[in-house]
Amino acid sequence: MPKSKKAIVVYFSRDGNTRKVAKIIAEYLKCKCVFILEAENISIYDLIVIGSPVYTLEPVSTVTEWIKSHDFTNKKVVLLCTYTWFGEQRSIKIMKKLVQRQNGNVIGFHVTVAKHKFFKPDRPNSEDLNKVKDFAKNVLKMWKKS
């Protein structure tokens, strides 16, 4: 991470999928990874990574409400979604709009297929997780340049 710049990953996760993806990103960014309702004052961070599962074709309301109650002026934001079937692009769009409304600059997003109950039990698989790692490396690169 560039000196004097700080990043944080915040996520909501009920069943662990989004947490898994969030943790990989945080590992590469060498930053904190916290459950969204435990996120402290975000004003000290320059890069904020926000992760949400897709619930009924939308990001979870815990995440959208959290975004609505924060100011992202002068902050770069990266969005993550995990999902089993569909609704991921729509969810990213919704989160992006909300972040922009709060003055944030969305610099990237990543979506990951993940299991739900007995559906797609082997996801995310190693290929999915490698894609997350590649994405994390790219975010780090962009972050270093900025």
Q: Which is nearer to ligand FMN, 76 or 112 (CB)?
A: 112
Residue 31 beta carbon to ligand FMN: minimum distance, rounded to whole angstroms: 19
Q: Which stretch binds ligand FMN (CB under 6 A): 13-21, 35-43, 72-80, 132-140?
A: 13-21
Nearer to ligand FMN, 51 or 104 (CB): 51
Cβ closest to ligand FMN, residue 17 vs residue 104: 17
Beta-carbon count within 10 A of 109 CB: 20
Q: Are 77 and 83 in contact (CB under 8 A)?
A: no
Q: By CB under 6 A, tell whether 59 contacts ligand FMN.
A: no
Q: How far apart are CA 39 and CA 81, in angstroms?
A: 18
Say which residues have a Cβ less than 8 Å from residue 111's Cβ, sequence separation at least 6: 80, 81, 82, 83, 88, 89, 92
- Interface ranges with ligand FMN (CB under 6 A): 13-19, 53-57, 82-87, 114, 116
